[in-house]
Amino acid sequence: MFVVVVYDINVERVTKVCAYLRKFLFRVQNSVFEGEITKGQFTRMKSGLKKIIVDQEDTIRIYILPHDKVVRIETMGKEISEFCQII
């Protein structure tokens, strides 16, 4: 499946969430990851994120598609670096 993960995380946990998501997906913007993962990886990813975030302070949205051929992605402007930086 192809997933897009978008998050708004308290600054205290941003680096941890970013580093964790890198294990599963590719970083495409400061708070956006995407990529093809298996159902097992998806389950592990969600379980790990639940352990990091605080429900009353953080938000994660996950968009799930059957595969990357279903959506057309266009990028304008510069690509983001692979380094997780807090701005």
What is the per-residue pLDDT across 44-87, written as a single tens digit (0 to 9) for each?
A: 999 999 999 999 999 999 999 987 677 777 778 877 655 444 43
Q: Nearest Cα to 80, choosing from 11, 33, 16, 20?
A: 33
- Specify the residue for token string 């956006």: 32
Domains and CATH numbers, the chain: 2-65 (3.30.70.240)
User: What pTM was computed for the model?
Assistant: 0.84
Considering all CA atoms of the chain, what is the largest pairwise distance in Å, rounded to the nearest integer?
36
How do residues 4-60 score in pLDDT, each as one tens digit? Answer: 999 999 999 999 999 999 999 999 998 999 999 999 999 999 999 999 999 999 999
Please say whether the beta carbons of 52 and 20 come within 8 A: yes
CA distances from 51 to 28, 33, 64, 71 (A): 23, 18, 21, 30
